[in-house]
Amino acid sequence: MITTVTYDYKTAVERILQELRRDRDRQIISRRFGFGMNRRQTLEKIGSDFGITRERVRQIEKAAIVKMSNVGSSEVAQAGDILQEIVANAGGIALADDVAIQLGANDLDIPYIVFLAILSSGVELIPEDDDLRQAITLKPIYARPQVIALIAEAVKVIKDYGKPMTLSKVNNKMPSQLENQTLEMLLSVSKKLANFDTKWGLISWPEVNPKSIRDKTYLVLGRHGRPLHFSEIAKHVRQLGVSKRDVTVQAVHNELIKDERFILIGRGIYALAEWGYTPGTVAEIIASVLREEQPLHKDEIVRRVLLKRQVKTTTIILNLQEKEQFERTAKATYKLKS
């Protein structure tokens, strides 16, 4: 449960901005960070409004940040203490959104938290890019280079393992040992990873990031670890809660039929091919069993067929007795006809 910290971050930012003598500089900072706006403004837009180049806007922004960081105001110091405590309690790494929630900030107010993190000497803001989500970390132990290196370790561990892993398993295989809480936040920062049902994997893996009905069907069977009727699979797909899209029984059945990862092993009952079940008719399964070893007593044939398909025993026996490809060699003993 996230505990909200009482802190007037807006007033703090307003007071810090007063360290800048020129109103233009204060406006540039406010607009570059997007205080009270739906989005931050570009260098081009601000430069056009003030009649200066975009490079000049960049210079003003950079100089203002340095000045506010170095002025030694009590507001910056207090903000730094609060942010350090929140991030430390999260294990040294925290998503900026989570920090904002603890400070009672809504989505529009996150720029205030980002601004305070940039000014604070004890924490580092990791900006969002193609690989990372925006985060706040403790310096120097979790500065950006360290975070990137640790994420690379974790991604390699998961990729080498080849399938989703629990947090503890990832930690056990990591060259750098971390507290589970720290590792969980570290993995959350990476856009290359996703988690589902307590397991972490690559974002491209449907087991942790199911998008299509086909992926969700595979996930349901994998989680249950046993064959299911297609109607039951559809029910569990709807319960996943990963999409608002309506999932019909027919849609799920269609995916089961088309995808080679799924095998029909009984009347409407499907299994994952990776579990070792064999596709084909009952007669074809019996034939494959006898090719491995023959002759066999019917009880042994039934036992082996049931390992590959979920059908009634009488169905297997009837196929043995009625199909011309099988020949009885002794009492209740069969082989393939030559």
> In whole angstroms, what is the distance from residue 14 CA to residue 172 CA?
46
Q: Percent of the chain, pLDDT > 70? A: 97
Q: Is pLDDT above 50 for 201?
A: yes
pLDDT in tens, 318-332: 999 889 899 999 999
pLDDT in tens, 311-321: 889 999 999 98
Banded pLDDT at 1 (limits 50, 70, 90): very low
Which of 143-152, 204-213, 306-315: highest mean pLDDT? 143-152
DSSP state of 58: H
> In whole angstroms, what is the distance from residue 230 CA to residue 256 CA?
8
Task: Specify whether domain 144-202 bears CATH 1.10.10.10.
Answer: yes
Q: pLDDT higher for 308 or 12?
A: 12
What pLDDT score does 240 carry?
A: 77
144-202 against 213-275: fold identical: yes
User: In this structure, are residues 316 and 302 in contact, taking their beta carbons and an 8 Å threshold?
Assistant: yes
Segments making up each domain of the chain, as ranges: 144-202, 213-275, 282-336
Q: pLDDT averaged over the chain?
A: 91
Q: Is pLDDT above 90 for 123?
A: yes
In the 3-class helix/strand/coil scheme, how is 70-103 assigned residue by residue? Answer: HCCCHHHHHHHHHHHHHHHHCCCEEEHHHHHHHC
E strands along 139-261, which residues? 165-166, 193-196, 199-202, 228-229
Class of domain 282-336: mainly alpha
pTM over 0.85: no
Q: Is 246 helix (H, G, I), strand (E, B) or coil?
A: coil
Banded pLDDT at 182 (limits 50, 70, 90): very high
| CATH topology assigned to domain 213-275 | Arc Repressor Mutant, subunit A (1.10.10)
pLDDT in tens, 99-114: 999 999 888 999 999 9
Task: Go through 242-280 and write b for each residue having 16 or more CB atoms within 10 A of its CB, e for each that does not.
Answer: eeeeebebebbbebbeeeebbbbbeeebbbbeeeebeee
